[in-house]
Structure 1
Amino acid sequence: MALLDSAEQLLSARPLADISLTDIASGAGLSRAGVYFYFDNKDALVEAAIARRVNELLKAISDWTASPDAPFATSAEQCIQACFAIWRRSGPLLTAAVGMLSHRPALRAAWEEYFHRCADILATAIERDRDRGLLPHHGDARAMALALSWMVERNAYMLYSRNHTEEEEQTLLTTLTLLCRQAVGATTPPNT
């Protein structure tokens, strides 16, 4: 939808507080009045743009479940890569989302669903690798997986909400992958 694209494009150039509904409408080739046919206000429009990206994340998670035998290391790497891919493409929009989470319950629920679904997949992979003898049996797998999911997201937010280099991005990807493996007790080096 052109309005969602316009909002996202404008957010890549300036903060949400500096963008008006008229700016978004103009970028989509509509009048301000035309926007009200679709959305009640600017926050609702931005929330819809954010929800579109969160749905992409949820779809990526669905794709991971197609590989039920994947070891934890593979699942964790896919989680990190998917998170960074969406932040790379939509960092300013997701930065705006973080600012809206406290006062937009539907957005917060979708955001949390993403992390809980990630944690479910990672916890399953941890338990599977424990049963295979590849990981030690220590700590609650679900709690560990949820903490790792949030750790990845917070680091992505900190990186993509500011200017950074490709080297910084790669270093953070490598570090997060290593930290996830170490947190669950993996002793073999990553495949990358």
Structure 2
Amino acid sequence: MPAINSRRAPTKGDQREQSLIDAARAVFRDKPIGQATIDELAGAAGIARSGFYFYFESKQALLAALVDQRLAEADDETAEWLAAEGLGRDELRRGLAAGLARWKVDGRWLSEAFISPDPGPEVMHVRARFVDEGCTLFSKRIQRDARAGLTVGGSPDLIAKMAVHLRGIMFADVYANPGAYDEDELIDTLTDAILRLVYGADPTEAGR
């Protein structure tokens, strides 16, 4: 008798909902959310307009779902460094490089979701959770290294928030100004700036 898999297989409804999210990712890469139509998003997902409203109340609700999936992607990007010991410069640099690569592809809708002052209540709610969760994970790592006497002191929560916002602002600027930066230099400088903020050390001299 085959073993019972406890994980529920995706239903057709799950697949249609994911198709809409995937379609939104593609459409929002090319045009602002205000210019995308419900018909366009539904058509890109291969469903009828009426089907769109079965899963999402509005384009902003769909963008919120897309931002929610970005949470998992960001977790994957930072997981290696969050689990590392000490400075972990190489791990942090790889995570930042992965995040920048994502911004270069999805920067249009990421900017609307994370930089726009008023992306709508649905997106604002998910954005706040995204920032809070990212800062919490970062802060826990700082607290761990503070107990080991490795950090410069100060509020781990505040330092984490500074680092997370610095990362987001720089990625948004790279997207908004293509070709303005040498990307390897930017990633190296951002990596070392974050590590100096947390550890007060020159990462090129403190060991990697």
* Cα deviation code 1:155-188 (max 9, x no counterpart): 112222x251395332321221122233231134
Matched, 1:73 2:92: no
Specify whether residues 113 and 143 from structure 1 end up closer, same or farther in structure 2 by C-alpha distance, changes over 3 A only: closer
Aligned length: 186
Alignment partner for residue 84 of structure 1, among 95, 100, 103?
100
Specify whether residues 102 and 36 from structure 1 end up closer, same or farther in structure 2 by C-alpha distance, changes over 3 A only: closer
Structure 2 unaligned spans of 5+ = 1-17
C-alpha distance in structure 2 between counterparts of 1:96 and 1:158, whole Å? 13
* Cα deviation code 1:105-162 (max 9, x no counterpart): 431332223431342244136425x625xx5x443344223211211111112222x2
C-alpha distance in structure 2 between counterparts of 1:53 and 1:9, whole Å? 14
Structure 1 unaligned spans of 5+ = none
Q: 1:46 is matched with which residue?
A: 63
C-alpha distance in structure 1 between counterparts of 2:66 and 2:192, whole Å? 32
Q: How does 1:1-192 map onto structure 2 within 5 Å? A: 1-67=18-84, 69-74=85-90, 76-98=92-114, 99=116, 101=119, 103-104=121-122, 105-124=124-143, 126-127=145-146, 131=149, 137-160=152-175, 162-165=176-179, 168-183=182-197, 184-189=199-204
Deviation of the 1:61 alpha carbon: 3.9
Deviation of the 1:101 alpha carbon: 4.9
C-alpha distance in structure 1 between counterparts of 2:146 and 2:97, whole Å? 22
Specify whether residues 119 and 102 from structure 1 end up closer, same or farther in structure 2 by C-alpha distance, changes over 3 A only: farther
Task: Give the match's secondary structure for 1:164.
Answer: coil
User: With structure 2 as the length reference, what TM-score do the two structures score?
Assistant: 0.74
Kept after mapping to 2: 8 A contact 1:12/1:93: yes
User: With structure 1 as the length reference, what TM-score do the two structures score?
Assistant: 0.79
Task: Give the match's secondary structure for 2:182.
Answer: helix
Kept after mapping to 2: 8 A contact 1:118/1:146: no
Deviation of the 1:53 alpha carbon: 1.4
C-alpha distance in structure 1 between counterparts of 2:192 and 2:76, whole Å? 25
Specify whether residues 107 and 2 from structure 1 end up closer, same or farther in structure 2 by C-alpha distance, changes over 3 A only: same
After superposition, the CA RMSD in angstroms is 2.9
